[in-house]
Structure 1
Amino acid sequence: MELADIRREYVKGGLRRDDLPADPLVLFEAWLKQAVDAQLPDPTAMTVATVDENGQPFQRIVLLKHFDEKGFVFYTNLGSRKAQQLKQNNKISLHFPWHMIERQVHITGVVEELSKREVLTYFSSRPKESQIAAWASKQSQRLTARQALEGKFFELKQKFLAGEVPLPTFWGGFRVKINSIEFWQGGEHRLHDRFLYHDKTEQWEIDRLAP
């Protein structure tokens, strides 16, 4: 298998300057809806990139749970690697890889921790098994075997069998306040369309980028 020979053409359409709304969230919402309507697997899945104290980047997949003019929201264990790195360096990058519809969205920004009220509201809406899993997993910590994780989950499931699952003190979320957002639409002959929204004061500046 020659990896260099793996390629395809992008033929699903273009993106023109006249197509762009003044507010990038209007376009993001439209693209996300189209990703959902196209029945893409996990359309809200996004790559979250952070950097540790040595400048080493890390990436992982996280699910987007809400977005509005205030930013993009996701939840996590506050003891996790990403959460600890964001406490040291609040700069972040998000990436939505909607390959099947030949689109990508890339966001840069800074995070702020969500309030306990926001976290509790979302945590209470999760399925009970997911709530218990949040208690069972010490995210990013070394694990001797999967059986240890499953055993802890079963133990907690019995403990919370008849009642509500309380919000763990170590579980929370972040809001990404947008600095820039780029929309990428695949084009024929690798002539992709890229538009970058950035430097918002009273309104967003929009630049076309070379593919």
Structure 2
Amino acid sequence: MSDSENTIPTGNPFAIFEDWFAEAQESEPNDPNAMCLATATPDGRPSARMVLLKGHGPDGFVFYTNAESRKGEEIRANMQAALLFHWKSLRRQIRIEGPLEEVSAAEADEYFHSRPFKSQVGSAASDQSRPLADRDVYLNRVEQLQAAYQDAGEVPRPPYWTGFRLAPVAIEFWSDRPNRLHERRRFLREGGGWTGSLLYP
């Protein structure tokens, strides 16, 4: 059997991510920036949910959330996380691991007010992850905030609504291959650079 061709490049993992992400934006029918965010409590209880990537570059991968939500509380108690992109249209996935840092207030303000007005209202009205006795309670809050800030066209960013940047120490690329002989390449940050190696699928 001969199948030695590598489809995952050996260069800078950020450049590989950029190429794959650009292809996903062309091929995925919905939310190519959707990623699974995995967090854990200090005593090791994990949880995972889908969030949207809102910024990326050599300094890391940025997402936004309510810091008083379950994920926000877990992040602030244990500033480590993992991300997973899975693009079914391309039959590829990327796993990213590393520490988190909170974005600046200016960054959070800029992104919050770049969102549609109704999205700002929905976020400001939500006590994310908290029990809700009746959906009408939430919808009434939305209606009240919308009326209060309609003329201004924007809602003040709640102090608990913020963003986090994951600075990767490991990035792993996975590509589907025939007969489940898949290809995996894992990059580890060492000093100021990256080292990469293939893994058994």
TM range (shorter): over 0.9
Q: Return 5+ residue gaps in structure 2 as ranges.
A: none
Give the direction of change, closer, same or farther, for the CA distance of 1:15–1:170 in structure 2 (3 Å limit). farther
Matched, 1:66 2:55: yes
Matched, 1:149 2:147: no
1:45–1:62: 8 Å Cα contact kept in structure 2? Answer: yes
Indicate the residue corresponding to 1:158 in structure 2: 147
Matched, 1:139 2:136: no
Matched, 1:172 2:162: yes
Q: Give distance in 2, aligned partners of 1:148 and 1:15.
A: 59
Q: Return 5+ residue gaps in structure 1 as ranges.
A: 1-13
Note the 1:87-126 alignment, pairs <5 A. Answer: 87-126=76-115
Q: Give distance in 2, aligned partners of 1:130 and 1:30.
A: 30
Query: For residue 209 of structure 1, what is the amino acid of its counterpart?
Result: L
How far did residue 18 of structure 1 move? 7.5
How far did residue 121 of structure 1 move? 0.8
Indicate the residue corresponding to 2:194 in structure 1: 204
**Of 36-45 and 126-135, the range deviating more from structure 2:** 36-45
Q: Give distance in 2, aligned partners of 1:52 and 1:170.
A: 19
Q: Secondary structure at the match of 2:193?
A: coil
Give the direction of change, closer, same or farther, for the CA distance of 1:16–1:24 in structure 2 (3 Å limit). farther
Indicate the residue corresponding to 2:39 in structure 1: 50
Indicate the residue corresponding to 2:185 in structure 1: 195
Higher relative contact order (CA 8 A, sep 6+): 1
Please give the TM-score of this superposition, normalised by the length of structure 1.
0.89
Q: Give distance in 2, aligned partners of 1:184 and 1:19.
A: 8
1:15–1:193: 8 Å Cα contact kept in structure 2? Answer: no
Indicate the residue corresponding to 1:186 in structure 2: 176
Q: Give distance in 2, aligned partners of 1:29 and 1:67.
A: 9
Q: Give distance in 1, aligned partners of 2:130 and 2:21.
A: 33
2:87–2:93: 8 Å Cα contact kept in structure 1? Answer: yes
Q: Secondary structure at the match of 1:54?
A: coil
**Of 187-196 and 162-171, the range deviating more from structure 2:** 162-171
Once the two structures are superposed, residues 113-162 of structure 1 have per-residue CA deviations (whole angstroms, 9 ceiling, x without a partner) of 01000101111111000111111001111111211111110111111111
1:22–1:203: 8 Å Cα contact kept in structure 2? Answer: no
Query: For residue 54 of structure 1, what is the amino acid of its counterpart?
Result: D
Query: For residue 67 of structure 1, what is the amino acid of its counterpart?
Result: H
Q: Give distance in 1, aligned partners of 2:190 and 2:5.
A: 21
